[in-house]
Amino acid sequence: MAQYKTSHTFYSAWNYEKEIEDLNAQSEQGWQLVKGGCFFSRFEKNPNVRYCYQMDFGRIENMGRYIEMFREQGWEYINSTFNGWHYFRKPYDETLPESAYEIFTDRESLQEMRERWARIAFGITVALGLFAILSLIRLILRPHLPALVQTLTLATECGLVFFGSSTMRNPDVSHNRKGDSHVLGACLAVILIGAIAGIALTELRPYFHTMQSWSDSDLSTSAAPKDWLPFQVRYPDNYFLDLKIEAQEPLTFEILDKDNHVAYTITDKDFTGEDIRLRLPSGGYRLHLSDYGAGPVKIEVTLN
C-alpha cells in the first residue's frame, strides 16, 4: 500500500528556491511530490527513484503547449497552483552537471520569471497601500479600535507584499533563505489575527438608531423622567453619536451609565450634531430625557 504524507511548510514566493531545495531533499529521502501547493504539499513514498524539482511562474494561455515544451526538455509536469506556480521534476542522474537541472537556460529568462511575479505583487501593493491610506484617514477622523486594527493589518500586508516584490526584482538577492518561512508564518498569523480581531471588535460595538417622540399629554402625565433604550458597551473605546433634537422648549438629553454617572449631556430645544465623540468605558448605559417643558418633542439618536 502506498504511503503518503502532507507538508504544511510555508514558503514565500520570493524564497521559492528554498522550496525547491526542500523538495529535492524530500526526494532524496524517498518522498516524491504528488501535488505542490501554497498551503500544503502532498508526497508519496517511493525510494526507488530520485528527482530534481523546479518551479515556474506565470499565467499560461496554452497549457498543453506549455507542458509539451518542458517535456521536450526532459521535465515532467506535476501540477499548478491557483496563483500561477507550476511544478516540474526530472529524474536525477548524478553523472549529469547541475546545469542539466536548471529550468531556465540563461539569467535573463530567470529574471523575466521573477519580474512576472514582481509586477503582480507591485499591483497588489498599490491596492493595499490605497486601502491602508483610506483606513488611516478614517482612523484620524474617527479614532476607534477596529479602525486601528484594520489600518495596522493593511499596513502589514502592504509591507510584506512590497518587500516580496522588491526582493523578487533584485537579481542579486538570494531566493533561498533559511528562516524565511517562520517570518512569513508570523506575518500571516498577524494578518489573520488582525482580520479576525477587526471583525470581532466591529461586531461587539453597540450600534443602534432610534427615533422617539412625545406629545404634550405624554409629557404632562409622566411623573418621572424618560428612560429608554438600554445598551451595553463591551470594551472601552471612542464611540460616535449622531443626535437631533426638536422641541418647543429646552430639554436635557443624557446618556447615563448604570450608576447614573453622566457620559454625555446637552440641554437644547433645536440641536443637530454628527460624529460626537464619546469615550465610554465598558458597562451598561441608557438614554435619558429630563427637564422638559411643553411638547411635542422629537429626538433621533444614532450610536456607533
Q: Are residues 112 and 99 in the same domain?
A: no
Distance CA 192, CA 180 (A): 18
* pLDDT of the residue at 289: 87
Q: Are residues 51 and 16 in the same domain?
A: yes
Give backbone dihedrals phi and psi of 42, rounded to 5 degrees, phi first.
-110, 135
Contact 51, 90 (CB under 8 A): yes
CATH of the domain at 294: 2.60.120.380
Q: Are residues 215 and 160 in the same domain?
A: no
Contact 238, 277 (CB under 8 A): yes
Length of the chain: 304
Which of 152, 177, 204 delimits the end of a domain? Answer: 204
Task: Show the domain range for 16.
Answer: 4-103
Q: Are residues 222 and 275 in the same domain?
A: yes
Q: Are residues 86 and 160 in the same domain?
A: no
- pLDDT by residue, tens only, the chain of 304 residues: 679 999 988 888 888 889 999 999 999 999 999 999 888 899 999 999 999 999 998 888 899 999 999 999 999 999 999 888 999 999 999 888 887 888 876 677 778 888 888 999 999 999 999 999 999 999 999 999 999 999 999 999 999 999 889 988 887 777 777 777 777 888 888 899 999 999 999 999 999 999 988 776 666 655 456 888 899 999 999 999 999 999 888 989 999 999 999 999 999 999 999 999 999 999 999 999 888 776 788 999 999 9
Q: Are residues 189 and 218 in the same domain?
A: no
* pLDDT of the residue at 221: 58
Q: Are residues 99 and 8 in the same domain?
A: yes
Show Cβ contacts of residue 46 under 8 Å, excluding neighbours closer than 6 positions: 30, 31, 32
Pick the closest to residue 295 from 226, 193, 209 (CA basis). Answer: 226
Which of 88, 103, 118 delimits the end of a domain? Answer: 103
Q: Could you count the other beta carbons within 10 Å of the beta carbon of residue 213?
A: 13
* pLDDT of the residue at 105: 61
Q: Are residues 78 and 134 in the same domain?
A: no
Q: Which three cell numbers stand for residue 71?
A: 517535456
* pLDDT of the residue at 216: 67
Strand partners, 43: 5, 33
* pLDDT of the residue at 185: 81
Q: Which three cell numbers stand for residue 129?
A: 497601500
Q: Are residues 68 and 147 in the same domain?
A: no
Which of 69, 103, 137 delimits the end of a domain? Answer: 103
Q: Are residues 200 and 212 in the same domain?
A: no
Element (H, E) at 91: strand 85-91
Q: Are residues 159 and 189 in the same domain?
A: yes
* pLDDT of the residue at 48: 93
Half-sphere exposure of 113 (CA within 13 A, CB side): 20
Total number of domains constituting the chain: 3
- Gap between the terminal Cα atoms of the chain: 60
Q: Are residues 195 and 220 in the same domain?
A: no
